Each structure stands twice: as structure tokens, then as C-alpha cells.
């Protein structure tokens, strides 16, 4: 059963979004998605290489 890569909540408890990374399909819940977008380094140890993702690129200007 899929679980959120950040909080480990299951797909039975909340909807999960599937993400593809390094030939893997991982899952993240909508509540944790902002962590992936804005503070990916907080996922270090949970998502390979997350500590090296750096700040999000500036856009929408």
C-alpha cells in the first residue's frame, strides 16, 4: 500500500499524489507537497538527494 514519503500516512487515510524520481514511483500527500516544493532539504533521508535540490527557481514574474 502506498504511503506518503514524508509523513507515512497511507492511501487509506488521505489521497496521495504519485511522483516519478530516479526510475521510482513515490507518493506524497497534499499536506506534505509544500515541503517537496519549498523545502525539499527537509526530506533528506526520505528522498534520495533531496538535500542537494537547492531553493526553488524564481518564476511567475
Per-residue pLDDT reduced to its tens digit, 9-49: 999 999 999 999 999 999 999 999 999 999 999 999 998 88
Q: Is the pLDDT of residue 6 over 90?
A: yes
- Domain residue ranges of the chain, discontinuous segments joined by +: 1-54
CA distance linking residue 2 with residue 25, whole number of Å: 10
Q: At 56, is the pLDDT very low, low, confident or very high (cuts 50, 70, 90)?
A: low
Q: Give Cα separations from 15 to 1, 28, 34, 49, 53 (angstroms).
A: 12, 9, 15, 25, 25
Q: What is the pLDDT of residue 1?
A: 92
pTM of the model: 0.81
Amino acid at each position: 500500500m502506498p504511503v506518503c514519503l514524508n509523513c507515512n500516512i497511507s492511501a487509506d487515510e488521505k489521497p496521495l499524489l504519485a511522483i516519478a524520481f530516479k526510475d521510482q514511483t513515490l507518493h506524497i500527500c497534499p499536506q506534505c507537497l509544500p515541503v517537496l516544493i519549498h523545502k525539499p532539504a527537509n526530506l533528506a533521508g526520505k528522498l534520495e538527494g533531496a538535500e542537494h535540490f537547492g531553493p526553488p527557481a524564481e518564476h511567475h514574474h
